[in-house]
Structure 1
Amino acid sequence: MSENVVVIYSGGMDSYTVLNKAIREGKTPHALSFNYGQRHKKELDYAARVCERLGIPHKVVDISSINSLVGGSALTSDIDVPEGHYEEPSMQTTVVPNRNMILLSLAIGYAVSLEATKVYYGAHSGDHAIYPDCRPEFVEKMNSVSKIANYTPVEIVTPYLLESKTAILADGLFMGLDYSETWTCYNGREKACGKCGACQERLEAFADNGATDPLHYETVN
C-alpha cells in the first residue's frame, strides 16, 4: 500500500509540480487547498480540475475569516497588485502575514487525521527574497515543531526549497507535465497580466527552459 501524504495545492505551477512529483514517487496524495481571502479564486478552480482529472482526494478549506486578523496584503486587501520583478521591494506588499505557518499547521492536523506522515509544499529559492515563510530557516524550524506537536511526527517536505522556478519547471517538463493546467497571475482576469511579479517569474522560467508558456497573456500573446 502506498504512503498517504498531504500536498498543499494552490493550483499554481510550483504546487502542481510538487503534487505530480509526489505521485511519481509512489505516494497517495491528498490535495489541500485554501481560500484565505485571496483576491481571486482562479487558482482554486485550476486545482479542482486537476484533482478531478487525476482522481485524487481534494479538500478546499475556507479560512477567509482570518483576513480580519492578517489583512494588509495586496493579495487579500484593496491594495493594487505591484508590477515588476519578484525581488523588487515593492513585492513585499504581496506578503500575507504568517500565511504559510497557518496553512502548514492546518495541513499537519489533516495529515495526523489521515495517519499520513508527510506534508508537501512548494517553497523554492525564488521566494526567499520576499517571503520569510519560504526560507530554509523557517522550514527547518517549522519541521522541528511539526515532529513534536502530535503523538505522530509529521515531516514537512519541500522538494524544491533550494531550487529556482526555472529548475522546478525543468523538472516538470521532464515529467511531461502540462502547465496549461496551472494559474500563476496575481490578477484573476481572463488572461494572465504578464506584468506582476508572479507572471514575470513564470515567463522567465519558460524562457530559461527554451519553452513556450501555454497560458495566454494580456501583454505577451
Structure 2
Amino acid sequence: MKEKVVIIYSGGMDSYTVLNKALQEGYDAYPLTFDYGQRHKKEIDVARRVTQKLGLKHKVIDITAINQLLQGSSLTSDIDIPEGHYAEESMKSTVVPNRNMILLSLAIGYAVSIGAHKVYYGAHSGDHAIYPDCRPEFVNKMNAVSQIANYDPVEIVSPYLHQSKIEILKDGLTMGLDYSQTWTCYNGREKACGRCGACQERLEAFAKNGQVDPLEYED
C-alpha cells in the first residue's frame, strides 16, 4: 500500500510541481486547496481541473470566514496589487497575515485524520525575502511543532525550500509537466497580467530555462 501524503495545492506552478513530484515518487497524494478569500480564485478552478484529470481525492476547503481576520494584504483586501519583482519593497503588501501557519495547521489535522505522516508545501528561496512563512526558520519551527502536536507525528516537507522558481521549473520540465495547467497571476482575470510579482517571477523562470510560458498574457 502506498504511503499517504497531504499536498497543500494552490493550483500555482510551485504546488503543481510539488504535487507531481510526490506522485512520481510513488506517494498516494491527497491534494488540499484552500479558499481563504484570495483575489486570484482562478487558481482554485485550475486545481480542480488538474486533480480531476489525475483522478485524485481533492478537497477544496472554504475558509473565507477568516478573511475578516486577515486584512491588510493586497490579496485579501481592497488594496491595489503591486507591480514589479518580489525583490521590491512594495511586494510586502501581498503578505497575508499568518497564512501558511493557518494552512499548514489545517493540513496537519487532515493528515492525522487520514493516517498520513507528511504534509508537502511549495515554499522556495524566491519567497524568502518577502514572505516570513516561507523561510527555512519558519519551516523548521513548524516541523518541530508538528512532531508533537498530535499523538501521530507529521513531517512538513518543502522539497524546494532552498531552490528558486527557476530551479523548480527546470525540475518540472524534466518531469515533462505541462505548465499551461497552472495559474500564477495575482489578478484573477481571463489572462495573466504579466506585471505583478507572481507573473514577473514566472516569466523570468521560463526565460532562464529557455522556454516560452504557455499562458496568455495581457501585455
- TM-score between the two structures when normalised by the length of structure 2: 0.99
Deviates more, 1:118-127 or 1:37-46: 37-46
How far does residue 40 in structure 1 lie from its aligned partner after superposition? 3.1
Instruction: Name the counterpart of 1:22.
Output: 22
Distance in 1 of aligned mates of 2:40 and 2:134 = 22
1:157-176 CA distances to partner (integer Å, 9 max, x unpaired)? 00000000000000000000
AA aligned opposite 2:16: Y
Specify every segment of 5 or more residues in structure 2 that has no aligned partner in the other structure, as ranges.
none
Percent identity of equivalent pairs: 76
Instruction: Name the counterpart of 1:151.
Output: 151
Distance in 2 of aligned mates of 1:128 and 1:208 = 20
> Where do 1:106-145 residues align within 5 Å?
106-145=106-145
Instruction: Name the counterpart of 1:62.
Output: 62
How far does residue 95 in structure 1 lie from its aligned partner after superposition? 0.3
Instruction: Name the counterpart of 1:88.
Output: 88
Instruction: Name the counterpart of 1:172.
Output: 172
Moved over 4 A (4+): none
How far does residue 204 in structure 1 lie from its aligned partner after superposition? 0.2
Specify every segment of 5 or more residues in structure 1 that has no aligned partner in the other structure, as ranges.
none
AA aligned opposite 2:64: S
> Where do 1:175-190 residues align within 5 Å?
175-190=175-190
Do structure 1's residue 163 and structure 2's residue 137 form an aligned pair?
no
Distance in 1 of aligned mates of 2:154 and 2:58 = 19
How far does residue 131 in structure 1 lie from its aligned partner after superposition? 0.1
Distance in 2 of aligned mates of 1:190 and 1:70 = 26
Paired residue total: 219
How far does residue 41 in structure 1 lie from its aligned partner after superposition? 1.2
How far does residue 68 in structure 1 lie from its aligned partner after superposition? 1.4
Deviates more, 1:70-79 or 1:117-126: 70-79
Matched residue of 1:168: which SS?
helix
> Where do 1:67-78 residues align within 5 Å?
67-78=67-78
Q: What do you get for the CA RMSD once the two structures are aligned?
A: 0.5
Q: Does the Cα contact within 8 Å between 2:40 and 2:185 map onto a contact in 1?
A: no
Matched residue of 2:80: which SS?
coil
Instruction: Name the counterpart of 2:31.
Output: 31
Distance in 1 of aligned mates of 2:87 and 2:106 = 29
1:178-201 CA distances to partner (integer Å, 9 max, x unpaired)? 000000000011110000000000
- TM-score between the two structures when normalised by the length of structure 1: 0.98
1:19-58 CA distances to partner (integer Å, 9 max, x unpaired)? 0000000000000000000013100000000000000010
AA aligned opposite 1:205: A
Do structure 1's residue 45 and structure 2's residue 6 form an aligned pair?
no
Instruction: Name the counterpart of 1:207.
Output: 207
